[in-house]
Structure 1
Amino acid sequence: MKILLSITLIIIAMNVSAQEVNKKIHDQARNKDILINTCTREGLISFPEFKEMYDPLYAAYVPDAATMIELKKLIGKERIKIVLGTWCGDSKVNVPNFFKVLDALQFKEKNTEIIAVDGSKKAENGIIDGLNIQNVPTFIVYDKKGNEVGRIVEHPKTTLEGDLLAILKAKR
């Protein structure tokens, strides 16, 4: 009986500490429902306010072919963290286009982490503490050792694929 009780308590503790994925809250600052914290791509692109722009923008975006050829040579075991706001116009435009680039590169989805923030650019449980997020979206590229090698903040300087290529070239 004690073992069963112990196992039950462990399971409860794990569920309490486990973060809810694709969590929806009402953002008082924006007066709308948003996603917060860790999201899956499916959760993000099925969220109604985000989906309405995601589908047509993703379909329409055509990454620069020459840049993509160069990117394919350099992309390896990097990890990418995307911090965005489902309420944010720049996120609604640039995240679908960034996913189009990643898909064209056949970048492994398991190497991509998506974190949604509220209107104050905050997430819960300290999951973006130390990332110095000022604007969204922020695309952070990490090397295979987990060191940040560069980021694209809010919008690209050239194109998303061009900025990603510049980050990867600079790390070499």
Structure 2
Amino acid sequence: MNKIKMFVLLGFASLVLSACSHSIARQPDFLGEVSAEQLLAQYPAFQDEYQSYQPSEKELAAVASLQDDSLVVLFGTWCHDSQREVPRLLKTFDLSGLDVPKLTLVAVDTKKNDPQGLAKKYALKYTPTFVLLKGDKELGRVVERPKTSLTQDLQSLSLITK
């Protein structure tokens, strides 16, 4: 009798856990090129950081040195560093009042792949990775967390080559 109760209890527990996993299904991750608007609209963690972040005057001024450059941002919607740094970059660009560099946002999966193969092209190891380009030449990159601020670190990379 105890074995029967045990099997019934295990069966019931499996059913409950299965139902719970369906009710808390998470939103699928973006993969490939995505717009800032889509990212902020569909991912609350990115929107929350965007709303709460207040860039400094130095960060806003640093955007000016990036106007002639391109920036490829490789990130994961699942990555806590991406959820912090990508919205901060977007907010700084938006508030700078300047023309921002050509910006390409590329979402990767947890294996760091994307449909266009940009993660492979840029040898992505860690997310987020911000690759600063002049034409097709890589000027440098900021990986995961900046040393000072993201735009100031990018500015330093841009000024090295000027």
Q: Is the TM value for this pair above 0.5?
A: yes
Contact 1:142/1:149 (8 A) holds in 2: yes
Confirm or deny that 1:153 pairs with 2:143. yes
Which ranges of structure 2 fall in alignment gaps of 5 or more residues?
1-25
Rounded Cα–Cα distance in structure 2 between residues aligned with 1:128 and 1:140: 11
Q: Cα 1:32–1:79, aligned 2, differ >3 Å: closer, same or farther? A: same
- The residue aligned with 2:89 is 98
Which ranges of structure 1 fall in alignment gaps of 5 or more residues?
1-30
- The residue aligned with 1:25 is none
Rounded Cα–Cα distance in structure 2 between residues aligned with 1:94 and 1:120: 20
What SS is found at the alignment partner of 1:33?
Answer: coil
Give matches, 1:122-161, under 5 Å.
122-143=113-134, 145-161=135-151
**The one of 55, 58, 65 aligned to 2:50:** 58
Please give the TM-score of this superposition, normalised by the length of structure 1.
0.70
Letter in 1 for 2:147: K
Q: Give 1:129 deviation, angstroms.
A: 2.4
Q: Cα 1:134–1:42, aligned 2, differ >3 Å: closer, same or farther? A: same
Q: Cα 1:43–1:72, aligned 2, differ >3 Å: closer, same or farther? A: closer
Any idea what the Cα deviations from partners look like across 1:28-57, whole Å, max 9, x if unmatched? xxx86211011111221122xxx2222232
Greater helix share, 1 or 2? 2
* Larger CA deviation: 162-171 vs 129-138: 162-171
Confirm or deny that 1:115 pairs with 2:106. yes
What is the root-mean-square deviation of aligned Cα atoms in Å? 2.1
Confirm or deny that 1:34 pairs with 2:29. yes
Q: Give 1:164 deviation, angstroms.
A: 1.8
Among all aligned residue pairs of Structure 1 and Structure 2, give the percentage whose two residues are the same amino acid.
25
- The residue aligned with 2:11 is none
